[in-house]
């Protein structure tokens, strides 16, 4: 192999190694290209005509100045003439025309002119004309005939009160009666017309009708006053979730009153379960009974806790029998505690386990990788459980990978320099 071929081989070898390292960086996600070309665009800002209504004020009070599409390039000012600025522009308010007679009384038309929504585009004039009473022709005198006389070219409209002269009672009206109140009493007042010396009059007869216990109004006895304390259940809220808020009728008074009967339970959570004392079963083992309750008709005054289920739970198996809820101890056997898993004790359960942490924190067995750690736990029934710790520990980082690749590149560079030096000497 010649010098030139050796040089080519060296450069090719370095290129291949460097390409492999670069490929590793790209595939691992640690090589990020931060060069991002940014396109710049020149936007030309067109002139904005207006951004608020105040910029469109033309000084004319009869126009409504408005900025359409404010703040945009297509904005422009609009000047629309309003219909009215005040009531005066809609005409006058007051009496119109002449007086006239209606129902034997003097009337005159009255005009009311108003500007609705003055100064806005929605402004408009509202003009109402209605008859208004000018004079009531009734003088409350039974001796006169009251009437309204229409105006002529020479006289205005006016009321007339002619003196009435009777010759018989029928000309003075009809007899009538009415009920009226005098205090708490109902009276019947009878009006009988009379005609005396050409003058009409009347005779009044007052007759007691009845006494009103709860008062009299317009000749009618009032019923007992019913006072309602409430009209709906929401008005009886006492802010206590364990009472039902009710608005009900009081039978004694007839009015509505509030009542707040107690609620036993709102949900099953309010019905606590119970656990019996330990007892001996037929098989002479220690048992206890757990009772669960559910809430029926929750949130109402009829709610109560109902027995839903009873479960017998084994507390302890007794090898020598049971008495008063306690296992009997065998004679001469000491405390009666036995090791699980045969006579070899608890450690026999874990002879094949590589690394053990006992409940007291003591490390048992040979030191093993962390992925093989097992924790022993002891529950209330004196039984043992084991837990294996996860093996997801990651000590690698991108910095270490960079250092390793840099070292590899320098090593290859040194090898290349040595090869080139040997070729030159030869």
> Per residue in 357-369, pLDDT tens?
444 444 444 444 4
CA atoms within 13 A on the CB side of 292: 8
Kindly report which listed range (92-101, 254-263, 341-350) carries the lowest average pLDDT score.
341-350
What separation in angstroms does the CA of 15 have from each of 22, 355, 378, 411, 416? Answer: 10, 48, 62, 13, 11
User: Which three-class secondary structure string do you get for the chain?
Assistant: CCHHHHHHHHHHHHHHHHHHHHHHHHHHCCCCCCCCCCCCCCCCCCCCCCCCHHHHCCCCCCEEEEEECCCCCCCEEEEEECCCCCHHHHCCCEEEEEEEEECCEEEEEEEEEEEECCCCCCCEEEEEEEEEEEECCCCCCCCEEEEEECCCCCCCCEEEEEECCCCCHHHHCCCEEEEEEECCEEEEEEEEEEEECCEEEEEEEEEEEEECCCCEECCEECCCCCCCCCCCHHHHCCCCCCECCEEEECCCCCCEEEECCECCCCCHHHCCCEECCCEECCCCCEEEEEEEEEEECCCCCCCEEEEEEEEEEEEECCCCCEECCEECCCCCCCCCCCCCCCCCCHHHHHCCCCEEECCCCCEECCCCCHHHEEEEEECCCCCEEEEECCCCCCCCCHHHHHHHHHHHHHHHHHHHHHHHHHHHHC
* Beta strand pairing call for 373-378 and 355-357: parallel
Residue 97 has pLDDT above 60, yes or no: yes
pLDDT of residue 5: 56
pLDDT of residue 350: 38
Dist. CA 379–CA 363, nearest whole Å = 19
Radius of gyration of the chain (CA): 55
pLDDT of residue 121: 85
pLDDT of residue 410: 87
Residue 28 has pLDDT above 70, yes or no: no
Kindly report which listed range (30-44, 174-188, 246-260, 284-298) carries the lowest average pLDDT score.
30-44
Token pair of 66, please?
Answer: 């408005």
> Per residue in 242-296, pLDDT tens?
998 989 887 766 778 898 999 999 999 999 889 999 999 988 999 999 999 999 9
pLDDT level of residue 406 (50, 70, 90 thresholds) = confident
Residue 343 has pLDDT above 50, yes or no: no
pLDDT of residue 368: 40
pLDDT of residue 277: 93
Mean local confidence (pLDDT), 185-195? 93
pLDDT level of residue 23 (50, 70, 90 thresholds) = low
Mean local confidence (pLDDT), 287-315? 92
């Amino acid at each position: 192999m010649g010098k030139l071929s050796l040089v080519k081989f060296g450069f090719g070898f370095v290129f291949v190694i460097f390409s492999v390292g670069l490929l590793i960086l790209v595939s691992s996600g640690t090589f990020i290209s931060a060069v991002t070309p940014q396109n710049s665009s020149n936007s030309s800002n067109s002139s904005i005509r207006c951004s608020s209504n105040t910029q469109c004020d033309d000084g004319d009070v009869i126009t409504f100045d408005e900025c359409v599409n404010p703040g945009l390039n297509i904005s422009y000012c609009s000047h629309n003439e309003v219909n009215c600025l005040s009531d005066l522009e809609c005409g006058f308010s007051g009496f119109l025309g002449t007086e006239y007679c209606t129902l034997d009384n003097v009337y005159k038309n009255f005009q009311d002119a108003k500007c609705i929504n003055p100064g806005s585009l929605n402004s408009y004039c509202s003009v109402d004309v209605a008859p208004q009473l000018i004079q009531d022709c009734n003088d409350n005198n039974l001796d006169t005939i009251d009437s309204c006389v229409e105006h002529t070219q020479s006289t205005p409209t006016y009321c007339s009160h002619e003196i009435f002269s009777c010759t018989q009672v029928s000309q003075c009206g009809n007899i009538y009666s009415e009920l009226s109140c005098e205090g708490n009493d109902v009276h019947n007042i009878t009006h009988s017309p009379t005609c005396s010396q050409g003058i009409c009059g009347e005779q009044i007869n007052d007759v007691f009708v009845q006494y009103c216990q709860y008062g009299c109004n317009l000749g009618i006895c009032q019923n007992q006053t019913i006072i309602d304390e409430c009209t709906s259940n929401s008005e009886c809220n006492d802010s206590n979730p364990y009472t039902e808020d009710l608005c009900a009728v009081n039978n004694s008074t007839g009015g509505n009153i509030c009542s707040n009967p107690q609620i036993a339970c709102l949900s099953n959570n309010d019905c606590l379960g119970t656990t019996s004392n330990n007892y001996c079963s037929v098989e002479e083992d220690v048992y206890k009974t757990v009772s669960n309750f559910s809430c029926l008709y929750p949130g109402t005054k009829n709610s109560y806790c109902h027995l839903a289920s009873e479960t017998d739970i084994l507390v302890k198996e007794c090898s020598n029998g049971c008495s008063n809820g306690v296992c009997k101890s065998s004679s001469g056997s000491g405390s009666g505690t036995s090791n699980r898993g045969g006579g070899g004790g608890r450690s026999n359960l874990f002879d094949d386990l590589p690394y053990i942490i006992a409940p007291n924190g003591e490390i048992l067995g040979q030191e093993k990788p962390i992925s093989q750690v097992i924790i022993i736990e002891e529950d209330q029934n004196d039984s043992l459980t084991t837990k294996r710790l996860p093996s997801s520990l990651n000590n690698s980082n991108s910095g270490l990978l960079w250092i390793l690749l840099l070292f590899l590149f320098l090593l290859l560079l040194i090898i290349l320099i040595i090869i080139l030096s040997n070729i030159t000497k030869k």
